[in-house]
Amino acid sequence: MKTLCNLAFASAVAFSVGCFQATSKPTADVATSKPTADVATSKPTADVATSGATAEEATPRETMNKTTQNVLNLDQAMTDGGVLAATNIPSADPLTQSAAAYRTTVGKIGAMAVHQAIQIRDAQSIKDPKPLSYDELMKEIIRNDQPDGIQLAMLPYYQEYAWDAKSQTLVVVDFPARKEERQKQLDGN
């Protein structure tokens, strides 16, 4: 019962700590996680060159009860300024601790779902199990736009899932530039 109450509290806190629905136009179709036409055709601004993140990327997105199939290639994500997300839960104060616990748990559960799907794939394969490339992961495991594809829980605006082909695991990547851009938006700069 205590665990259930803690989970409910963590969910409520995560919603209130930055997981609100964006007040601007959505940047991606929530059902498919594909960029909307406005985002796909938008041109970078001068602000992008200085901060590394667009205003759309730094806009909080709705995460509660939302899913995504957006998985990046880890090498490309790191090139774009991403860093591996911390898997520890800091204990600064109860509010941020609960939100951090929620974010960390969601990422770990997504990684476990992908790992289980890979194990099932390998068990069903007549051939020897082989490592998955990013493209194979997206086609065989995530299965974008397929009803039987894996639906991962939506992460906050500054985090994305990424495939680490070397260790064959799904990881969560933080994009610090998105946080910086969001702070600039809030500060009015």
Q: Residue 106's closest CA among 78, 65, 76, 53?
A: 65
What is the reported pLDDT for 54? 86
What's phi and psi for 141, nearest 5 deg? -105, -60
User: Residues 159, 173: contact at Cβ < 8 Å?
Assistant: yes
Q: Where are the alpha helices (DSSP H) in the chain?
A: 2-16, 37-41, 46-51, 74-79, 94-124, 134-136, 176-187
What is the reported pLDDT for 55? 80
pTM higher than 0.85: no
User: Strand 159-164 to strand 71-73: parallel, antiparallel, or no bridges (unpaired)?
Assistant: parallel
Q: How many CB atoms lie within 10 A of CB 18?
A: 16
Long-range contacts of 183-186 (CB under 8 A, 24+ apart): 184/51, 184/58, 185/55, 185/58, 185/59
**DSSP-assigned beta bridge partners for residue 83:** 174
Residue spans per domain, the chain: 2-187
The pLDDT profile of the chain, 189 residues, written as one tens digit per residue, is 444 344 444 444 343 334 433 333 344 444 444 444 433 333 333 333 344 788 888 888 888 899 999 999 999 999 999 999 998 888 888 888 988 898 999 999 999 999 999 999 888 876 677 889 999 999 999 999 888 899 999 999 999 999 999 999 999 999 999 999 999 999 986
Give the Cα separation of 94 and 12 in Å (integer).
13
Residue 145 falls in which region: left (phi positive, over 0), alpha (psi -120 to 50) or beta: left
User: Residues 63, 154: contact at Cβ < 8 Å?
Assistant: yes
What is the reported pLDDT for 53? 81
What is the reported pLDDT for 189? 63
